[in-house]
Amino acid sequence: MTATEQHSEIDPRVASAAAHWSHRFVTNGVPLADFQDVTGSIRHWDEWCAAWASRAEVHEGLAQAAFAGGYERSGAEHLSTAAVCYHFGKFLFVHDRAQMRAAHERAVDCRNRALPFVDPPGERVEIPWNGHTLYGNLRKPRGVERPPVVVMAMGLDSAKEEMPSNEQVFLDRGLATLAFDGPGQGEGEYDMPIHPAYEEPVSAVLDMIETRNDLDSDRVAIWGVSLGGYYAPRAAAYEDRLKACVSLTGPFDFAEAFDRAPPLTRAAFTARAFASGEDAAREVAAHMTLEEAAPRIRCPTYIVGGALDRVLPPDHAQRLADAVSGPVVLNMIEDGTHVANNRPYKYRTQVADWLADALAR
């Protein structure tokens, strides 16, 4: 069999993953060699989750050895890598719910075991909302009394276990981070559908922050990635306790974006909206527009766009920038893909510096 014939047998979903996802995986903590090994070893999408779980187990084993030797920080680092590998095994694997959930539970377990030993350490927090419990990872910078807080809103397929590298730039600048799974996200995706009125769970998060005497509840910002780039400005429009907002390659109107999104993305949205099919999913997407909300945003807003985005329309960043009422910065990365994961150095530190200034006393 020729190389061309072998390549033709690869599931197009696997081929697409190998071609387009390396930047996201590596930027968020997966070793490049692991990405290359796993994507190069499978030919069918049904193998995806198990292959990533197998690679995650390698890092779990390294963690176990490190902890046994008394090297807690090293153990935590290995566990965090295992968590993100498990996460990427499950993140779009919605057609096999049992396998997806098993990998997800292991991702959560690995990150939870790592949290007390990472630098700075973190804690798992519970947030009551609408008869349910939302879960988050709270981390506080060292040496800062009552730090301001960056609430981190996940996207369609991201979860708090993917966030360590995103958290770190804020922690390094004296900001606490609270990455949480909202309805339809991460730990909230199994019994809560996607919730377009995202200011409601965010209000519950802010209520929880107000109960803590170790956080400055008067200085809270929201950051959202991908579909979270809709959720964050949506929350900022209706929740005046938020002092600043970051939208990272989010949609202005998800109904417009739904049909152009990749098939795996549409399938994930359909599953996490608890929709019976794509037609029903479009009805949910129709409620996810910032047309009325954006003009209500008066807090400072930082918007990142990727001109080469193939998941969400790049022009939606400009539409949001034109619609908000408060001060706005638009960072359109001309060579940036979705979330600009191929050019993180063009927005991560810039956003962190901007937020540190916005939340300064």
- Picking from 188, 181, 182, 147, the residue whose alpha carbon sits closest to that of residue 162 is 181
Architecture, CATH, for domain 121-361: 3-Layer(aba) Sandwich (3.40)
Cβ atoms of residues 138 and 122 within 8 Å: yes
* Residue linked to tokens 């084993």: 61
Eight-state DSSP code of residue 347: T
Give the DSSP per-residue string, 89-114.
HHTT-TTSHHHHHHHHHHHHHHHHHH
Q: Is 337 helix (H, G, I), strand (E, B) or coil?
A: coil
Q: How far apart are CA 93 and CA 88, in angstroms?
A: 9
Q: Could you give the strand order of the β-sheet that contains 328-333, starting from the edge strand earlier in sequence? A: 122-129, 132-139, 176-181, 149-153, 220-225, 242-248, 301-306, 328-333
How far from 70 is each of 57, 78, 112, 117, CA to CA, in Å?
20, 14, 18, 12
How far from 343 is each of 159, 308, 337, CA to CA, in Å?
21, 11, 8
Can 1-119 and 121-361 be said to share one CATH topology? no
Element holding 159 (H helix, E strand): none
Cβ atoms of residues 298 and 280 within 8 Å: no
Q: How far apart are CA 313 and CA 307, in angstroms?
A: 9
Q: How far apart are CA 127 and CA 195, in angstroms?
A: 16
The token pair that represents 114 in the structure block = 């790592």
Q: How far apart are CA 182 and CA 154, in angstroms?
A: 7
Q: In the chain, what are the domain boundaries?
A: 1-119, 121-361
Element holding 278 (H helix, E strand): helix 278-285
Phi and psi based region of residue 249 (left: phi greater than 0; alpha: psi -120 to 50; beta: remaining): left
Q: How far apart are CA 200 and CA 198, in angstroms?
A: 5
Q: Please state the pTM of the whole predicted model.
A: 0.95
Rounded to the nearest 10 degrees, the angle between the axes of helix 12-20 and helix 263-272 is 100
Pairing of strands 176-181, 220-225: unpaired
Judge: domain 1-119, CATH 1.20.1440.110.
Answer: yes
Q: How far apart are CA 62 and CA 51, in angstroms?
A: 18
Chain Cα centroid distance, residue 225: 6
* Residue linked to tokens 């694997």: 93
pLDDT at 8: 54
Eight-state DSSP code of residue 187: G
- Picking from 229, 247, 236, 250, the residue whose alpha carbon sits closest to that of residue 309 is 250
Give the DSSP per-residue string, 54-83.
HHHHHHHHHHHHHHHTT-HHHHHHHHHHHH
Per-residue pLDDT tens digits of the chain, which is 361 residues long: 344 444 458 999 999 999 999 999 999 999 999 999 999 999 999 999 999 999 999 999 999 999 999 999 999 999 999 999 999 999 999 999 999 999 999 999 999 999 999 999 999 999 999 999 999 999 999 999 999 999 999 999 999 999 999 999 999 999 999 999 999 999 999 999 999 999 999 999 999 999 999 999 999 999 999 999 999 999 999 999 999 999 999 999 999 999 989 999 999 999 999 999 999 999 999 999 999 999 999 999 999 999 999 999 999 999 999 999 999 999 999 999 999 999 999 999 999 999 999 999 7
Cβ atoms of residues 127 and 173 within 8 Å: no
Residue 24 burial by Cβ neighbours in a 10 Å radius (0-12, 13-18, 19+)? buried
